[in-house]
């Protein structure tokens, strides 16, 4: 299977939403399927999309290229678990060529790490230089309890493979009260001891799961205060193109990020949109409004002008902010779709 070669084109007009924000970051979910069933993300018995509903890899490449032409400079592949998509390396290699030709600043990925032992070298060879790996605990038994199906040893093997291949790794951990909150200092030491950044994330109310999220909601403002009793945290003006705010930990020399969609939302600086594996573009993670690009792609197989006009129309509908609502006492599901549908 060979995805089409592409000549370099002059960028079109940039994408600017109704609130003056330039959209330069595209997150692409290449599959809703995952080999884990994390308790805060999915129900254990998930019904996944039929394969006929998914965009082909060629369709995903065409759509990604249209967004790159429109000004996307950073593209992140997500899932589900992106590396369980059959032949996904063909897409990654094609998009990696947009990095080498200068049209894209960065191609990166968020993964659960389960397949990294197989793909780390190929990812680096394709032009990827940085990845995020989700890891909520260093306790193998708790890891299995959180992920339901995950193998902690395989993820550790994947981290080794990624760093050996030359990939810079950042760990992501969802902070959960009564689950892993007391382990965060150990995660900091583990990550920084291996030269990896750590980003902490508040759990988001997306999709029905098998537990009450409010019972485990942990505001990162509170967690940061707790960490301040053990570590010295110095705010730094690091910008990686995403929503995290960063601090340097004096005792370890490493960096820690905080993603706070609930306790301190980052909507004012939002520069991103999210594309699902079925071609639905969500202009906001916390809103249901979307644009159907599968229809546009299939009805206009040779007309990228129509495709780019549809992108402009979608960006013109990007809302000002999300409507997540979650605290220690209640949880209101902001949208019915699971995180795995949109991509983290």
- Whole-angstrom distance, CA of residue 84 vs CA of residue 87: 9
Residue 324 has pLDDT above 80, yes or no: no
Residue predicted with more confidence, 209 or 109: 109
Q: What is the pLDDT of residue 326?
A: 47
Residue 344 has pLDDT above 80, yes or no: no
- To the question of whether residue 80 is assigned a binding role by annotation, the answer is yes
Instruction: Provide the pLDDT confidence category of residue 209 given band limits of 50, 70 and 90.
Output: very low
Q: Does domain 19-342 have CATH number 3.20.20.70?
A: yes
Q: What is the pLDDT of residue 183?
A: 96
**Mapping DSSP to helix (H, G, I), strand (E, B) and coil, where does residue 41 land?**
coil
- To the question of whether residue 217 is assigned a binding role by annotation, the answer is no
- To the question of whether residue 64 is assigned a binding role by annotation, the answer is no
- Whole-angstrom distance, CA of residue 147 vs CA of residue 282: 26
- Looking at residues 90-114, what average pLDDT do you find? 97
- Looking at residues 165-182, what average pLDDT do you find? 94
- To the question of whether residue 27 is assigned a binding role by annotation, the answer is yes
Instruction: Provide the pLDDT confidence category of residue 192 given band limits of 50, 70 and 90.
Output: very high
Q: What is the pLDDT of residue 234?
A: 97
Residue predicted with more confidence, 287 or 65: 65
Helices 116-125 and 152-165: crossing angle in degrees, nearest 10, is 20
Mean pLDDT of the chain: 87
Residues sharing a CB contact under 8 Å with residue 210, sequence separation 6 or more, in sequence order: 39, 43, 44
- To the question of whether residue 111 is assigned a binding role by annotation, the answer is no
- To the question of whether residue 110 is assigned a binding role by annotation, the answer is yes
Contact 171, 186 (CB under 8 A): no
- To the question of whether residue 277 is assigned a binding role by annotation, the answer is no
Residue % of the chain over a pLDDT of 70: 84
Residue 278 has pLDDT above 60, yes or no: yes
- To the question of whether residue 274 is assigned a binding role by annotation, the answer is yes
pTM: 0.86
Of 152, 99, 153, 93, whose CA–CA distance to 119 is shortest?
93
- Whole-angstrom distance, CA of residue 277 vs CA of residue 54: 5
Residue % of the chain over a pLDDT of 90: 66
- Domain positions in the chain are 19-342
Residue 222 has pLDDT above 80, yes or no: yes
Residue 214 has pLDDT above 60, yes or no: no
Residues sharing a CB contact under 8 Å with residue 125, sequence separation 6 or more, in sequence order: none
- Whole-angstrom distance, CA of residue 157 vs CA of residue 172: 17
Q: What is the pLDDT of residue 38?
A: 80
Residue 252 has pLDDT above 60, yes or no: yes
- To the question of whether residue 284 is assigned a binding role by annotation, the answer is yes
- To the question of whether residue 33 is assigned a binding role by annotation, the answer is no
Under the phi-then-psi rule, with left for phi > 0, alpha for psi from -120 to 50, and beta for the rest, what region is 200?
beta
At residue 126, φ and ψ (nearest 5 deg) are -80, -5
Instruction: Provide the pLDDT confidence category of residue 1 given band limits of 50, 70 and 90.
Output: low
Q: What is the pLDDT of residue 41?
A: 76
- To the question of whether residue 108 is assigned a binding role by annotation, the answer is no
Q: Which residues pair with 134 in a beta bridge?
A: 172
pLDDT tens, position by position, 125-167: 999 999 999 999 999 999 998 898 889 999 999 999 999 999 9
């Amino acid at each position: 299977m060979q995805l089409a070669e592409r000549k370099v084109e002059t960028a079109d007009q940039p994408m600017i939403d109704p609130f003056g924000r330039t959209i330069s970051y595209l997150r692409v979910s290449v599959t809703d399927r995952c080999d884990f069933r994390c308790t805060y993300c999915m129900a254990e018995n998930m019904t996944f999309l039929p394969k006929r509903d998914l965009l082909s890899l060629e369709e995903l490449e065409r759509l990604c290229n249209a967004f790159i032409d429109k000004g996307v400079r950073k593209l992140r592949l997500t899932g589900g678990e992106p590396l369980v998509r059959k032949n996904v390396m063909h897409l990654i290699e094609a998009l990696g060529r947009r990095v080498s030709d200068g049209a894209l600043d960065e191609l990166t990925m968020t993964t659960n790490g389960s397949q990294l032992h197989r793909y780390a070298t190929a990812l680096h060879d394709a032009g990827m230089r940085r990845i995020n790996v989700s890891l909520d605990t260093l306790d193998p038994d708790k890891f299995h309890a959180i992920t339901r199906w995950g193998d902690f040893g395989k993820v550790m093997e994947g981290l080794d493979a990624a760093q050996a291949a030359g990939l810079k790794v950042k760990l992501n951990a969802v902070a959960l009260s009564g689950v892993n909150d007391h382990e965060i200092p150990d995660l900091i030491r583990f990550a920084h001891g291996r030269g990896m950044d750590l980003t902490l994330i508040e759990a988001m109310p997306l999709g029905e799961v098998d537990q009450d999220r409010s019972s485990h909601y942990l505001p990162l403002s509170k967690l940061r205060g707790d960490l301040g009793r053990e570590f010295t945290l110095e705010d730094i003006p690091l910008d990686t193109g995403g929503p995290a705010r960063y601090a340097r930990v004096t005792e370890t020399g490493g960096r820690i990020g905080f993603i706070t969609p609930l306790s301190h939302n980052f909507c004012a600086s939002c520069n991103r949109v999210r594309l699902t594996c079925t071609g639905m573009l969500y202009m906001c993670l916390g809103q249901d409004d979307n644009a159907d690009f599968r229809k546009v792609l299939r009805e206009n197989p040779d007309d990228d002008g129509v495709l780019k006009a549809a992108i402009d129309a979608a960006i013109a509908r990007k809302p000002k902010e999300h409507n997540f609502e979650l605290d220690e006492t209640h949880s209101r599901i902001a949208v019915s779709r699971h995180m795995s549908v949109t991509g983290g």
